[in-house]
Chains A and B, each alone.
Chain A
């Protein structure tokens, strides 16, 4: 029941774009995105609640397709600070806001 993230890893040059996908086999109430740098705690990026909802945070945005049980995180004009591991966390219905995290996508941005 763990959501599946793809790709598992991606290497970018500064300024390039990336898309990280998160797919679940169960109906989702919400999707949460976090970024974690090595040795640090996961940092909250954004939460998507409704099917078709899109949100943006500086140059990072995300979409949530409730019908397909999928979410995508879009990073545009990547910066060195975007490097880290990105996790999606999904919440099913009647799950009490219990997050089930995917395996993560390791993103490395090079100069």
Chain B
């Protein structure tokens, strides 16, 4: 399977704990995106990378959130001091961008529950 993969698929944590999620994009895709989706809503953009450079961050992304893509391949999203409002599905997507506009392919997501 050469699709986008995410790990873990589910994470339950206590409020105040730190969590880290991993995303492996489709091989050779140079752009990687993180989205958050709550029940009944569309995905909400968080941040994206082109290769290892983080080019855009949503204003909704608080200082407790940090993302990295150190070698331009996989990416991690860390949430520090989790709050109950962080409970959501965290989706990763990747795309190949030779030029122009291009479709994004989503991974299965990591469902975070903060208790």
Contact = CB atoms under 8 A, between A and B. Distances in A.
B106 interface: yes
From A44, A89, A99, A102, residue with most partner B Cβ within 10 Å: A99
A44 B103 contact: yes
From A34, A42, A98, A100, residue with most partner B Cβ within 10 Å: A42
Interface of A: 2, 29-30, 32, 34, 40-44, 47, 49, 87, 89, 91, 96-104
Contacts of A104: 40-42
5 contacts: A29-B101, A91-B101, A96-B48, A97-B31, A98-B33
A28 B1 CA distance: 34
Closest 10 CB pairs of A and B: A101-B42, A41-B106, A30-B101, A44-B103, A87-B42, A42-B106, A41-B108, A101-B43, A98-B45, A104-B42
B28 interface: no
B113 interface: no
A95 to B, nearest CB: 9
Contacts of B40: 103-104
Contacts of A97: 31, 48, 95, 97, 101-102, 104
Contact of A87 (B33, B43, B45, B107): B43
A49 B101 contact: yes
Contacts of A103: 40-42
Contacts of B106: 34, 41-44
Contacts of B35: 99
A63 B89 CA distance: 30
Interface in B60-108: 91, 95, 97, 100-108
